[in-house]
Amino acid sequence: MTQSRTLKKELRKEALARRDALDPFWRIEASLEMAETARDRIAFEPGAIVSGFWPMRSEVDVRPMMFALREHGARLCLPAILDKTTIVFRELVRGAPMVDMGFGTVGPHEEAEVLDPAIMLIPLAAFDARGHRIGYGAGYYDRAIARLQDAGKEPRLIGIAFNCQEVAKVPDEAHDVIVPEILTESGLRRFEAP
């Protein structure tokens, strides 16, 4: 394991421990505040496709955020894990069956339409003030974003986290995707492109 990967693993562990230590009721309140911020600050055309995620463990609960965006005309989708390297985004439709995706999360059934999101709400373990992120280590989002970009699409990337997940500096790796916006309980932060 390279030195930067070892450091990322340690930063991930520390940031997730801080997130896990947050009061569960406070996390709910913060998630609801973040939903209001998203509703007010994330502009899009009606019918735009927004990918969210089903929260696991102590993650920000983005379900209120997704429903607030749906009320403003967004078409929603969630990641579906196809194999050890690939996720696609399946449409989230009211009343449609949800299935276990592993990792303690669920997603739309395989009959749901696969969509290419224009806006991606991205879960993360840690981030820094430059918009560099640490995911959970499997690289699903890095590969999904690269696949969309290879197809000529440039989705708006918005990381979702609590302030306590910020670290001094995420080690740079060539394959990393920089997230130009992060939404926390303090609001929507935008980072300058390098």
- Binding site, annotated residues: 8-12, 59, 133-141
Strands 87-91 and 75-81, bridge-based pairing: antiparallel
Q: Report the run of H or E that residue 179 belongs to, with start and end.
A: none
Q: Report the run of H or E that residue 15 belongs to, with start and end.
A: helix 3-20
Question: How far, in Å, CA of 13 to CA of 134, rounded?
Answer: 10
Closest CA to 52 of 83, 73, 74, 33: 74
Known binding residues for substrate are 59
Strands 181-184 and 156-160, bridge-based pairing: parallel
Question: How far, in Å, CA of 138 to CA of 182, rounded?
Answer: 20
Q: Is 161 exposed, middle or buried (0-12, 13-18, 19+ CB in 10 A)?
A: buried
Known binding residues for ATP are 8-12, 133-141
Question: How far, in Å, CA of 74 to CA of 14, rounded?
Answer: 35
Q: Are 182 and 161 within 8 A, CB to CB?
A: yes
In single-letter form, the type of residue at position 148 comes to L
